């Protein structure tokens, strides 16, 4: 499992914007920046849609004022992530689609939910500076406490 001091894995992400389909690699997305990446088990799921993502939407300006870019990670495809972004009015957050779960697995933070959804990300949030993890908040199964927007804002 990734830990404080580790470099984020290399990955190319695809995402959808108003301009269409785009892709960028880890170095372009996280290099030379302070970022918060928060991961959810799935777009459009209850805790993710009712609390996790909305908390970051509500506090996006405060993160930006501290020079922090926000990224939401899920093992979903780019079209699902874009639809969720639009429904949640989350334009200030870059939605990272990890469709095959390769980034999540490289982090060591994947879980298998079986027939419920298959491979998913565990709920977590991390802070990285220039691609190196400086804080990691991993939720206990079934919990939503340490990876909230409020908790992460206190760490940046």
Reply yes or no on whether 48 is catalytic.
yes
| H-type alpha helices, 13-153 | 26-30, 46-47, 53-65, 78-87, 102-107, 149-153
- Please give the C-alpha separations between residue 153 and each of 2, 92, 106, 119, 137, in angstroms, as whole numbers: 21, 15, 25, 28, 12
- Residue 90: CB atoms within 10 A of its CB come to 19
Give the C-alpha separation, 18 to 119, whole Å: 29
Catalytic residue among 2, 29, 40, 48: 48
Give the C-alpha separation, 57 to 88, whole Å: 8
**Residues annotated as part of the active site:** 48
């Amino acid at each position: 499992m990734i830990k404080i001091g580790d470099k984020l894995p290399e990955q190319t992400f695809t995402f959808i914007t108003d301009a269409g389909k785009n892709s960028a690699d880890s170095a372009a997305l996280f290099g030379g920046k302070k970022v918060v990446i928060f991961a959810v088990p799935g777009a459009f799921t209850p805790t993710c849609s009712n609390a996790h993502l909305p908390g970051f939407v509500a506090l996006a300006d405060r993160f930006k004022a501290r020079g922090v870019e926000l990224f939401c990670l899920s093992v979903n495809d780019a079209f699902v992530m874009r639809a969720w972004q639009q429904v949640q009015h989350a334009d200030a957050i870059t939605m990272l689609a990890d469709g095959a779960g390769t980034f999540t697995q490289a982090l060591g933070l994947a879980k298998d939910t079986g027939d419920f959804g298959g491979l998913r990300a565990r709920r977590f949030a991390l802070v990285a500076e220039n691609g190196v993890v400086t804080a990691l908040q991993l939720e206990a199964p079934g919990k939503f406490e340490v990876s909230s927007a409020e908790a992460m804002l206190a760490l940046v």
